[in-house]
């Protein structure tokens, strides 16, 4: 769907490049997961828990990864068995738990993806003028936010449809 004042071929070119970037980043994540002996979902879960800095819950992880509670429990059990995560009681919700990285995960290089990706693209980023960097950053933030929000909305809508069809 083409919108706005942009020429159609320019918009399609940007969409194609974003798809290609996504594919290349997926390859990087897959390679890092393979090197760590993990699957990609486990790796993304560890990145989420790491970024949350002790505030992640099983529910927030499930929502982030788009997993069911059952699949999330299996993932957490697998990561806990390898000492990649630690579950601690939630300080204000006696039924809840908080997730943090375990010792084995903190010792691994695979959590330093941000630094690795930055090094891969440092020269390209350094070539941006300050004004270009502001524009690129604003564009990426808007795309990420819109994609995240749209996916959450889509999942919620689809889940509601699934519940309605099961009850009919």
Beta bridge partners of 89: 97
Write the DSSP assignment of 121-164 as a string of letters: HHHHHHTS-HHHHHHHHHHHHHHHHHHHHHHHHHHHHHHHHHHH
What whole-number percentage of the chain has pLDDT above 70?
A: 89
**Could you tell me where the beta strands, DSSP code E, fall in the chain?**
85-89, 97-101
Report the alpha-carbon distance of residue 163 to residue 168 in Å, rounded: 9
pLDDT, tens digit (0-9, with 9 covering 90-100), for 77-114: 999 999 999 999 999 998 999 999 999 998 887 777 76
Looking at residue 130, what is its pLDDT?
95
Bridge partner residues of 87 (DSSP): 99
Q: What's residue 160's pLDDT?
A: 67
Kindly state the tokens that stand for 115: 């630094």
Tokens of 107: 């010792």
49-57 mean pLDDT: 93
Which residues 6+ apart lie within 8 Å of 12 measured at CB?
Answer: 2
Model confidence at 159, pLDDT cuts 50, 70, 90, reads low
Query: What residues contact 32, with CB distance under 8 A and at least 6 apart?
Result: 43, 110, 113, 116
Q: Categorize the per-residue pLDDT at 165 as very low, low, confident or very high, splitting at 50, 70 and 90.
A: low
Give the torsion through C-alpha atoms of 34, 36, 41, 47, to 10 deg: -140
What does the angle CA 82 – CA 101 – CA 24 come to, to the nearest 5 degrees?
85
Instruction: Please name the fold of domain 12-110.
Output: Arc Repressor Mutant, subunit A (1.10.10)
Give me the phi and psi of 95, to 5 degrees please: -90, -15
- Nearest CA to 63 out of 166, 161, 154 is that of 154
Encode burial over 87-115: b for 16+ CB neighbours within 10 A, e otherwise. beeeeeeeeeebbbbbeebeebebbebee
């Amino acid at each position: 769907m083409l919108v706005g004042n942009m020429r159609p071929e320019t918009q399609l070119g940007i969409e194609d490049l974003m798809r290609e970037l996504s594919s290349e980043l997926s390859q990087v994540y897959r390679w890092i997961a393979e090197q760590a002996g993990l699957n990609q979902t486990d790796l993304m879960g560890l990145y989420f828990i790491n970024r949350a800095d002790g505030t992640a819950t099983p529910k927030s992880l499930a929502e982030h990864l788009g997993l069911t509670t059952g699949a999330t429990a299996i993932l957490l059990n697998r990561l806990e068995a390898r000492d990649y995560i630690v579950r601690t009681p939630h300080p204000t919700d006696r039924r809840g738990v908080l997730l943090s990285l375990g010792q084995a995960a903190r010792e691994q290089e695979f959590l330093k993806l941000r630094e690795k990706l930055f090094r891969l693209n440092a020269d390209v980023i350094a070539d941006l003028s300050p004004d270009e960097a502001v524009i690129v950053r604003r564009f990426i933030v808007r795309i990420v936010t819109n994609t995240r929000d749209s996916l959450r909305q889509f999942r919620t809508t689809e889940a509601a449809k699934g519940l309605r069809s099961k009850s009919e």
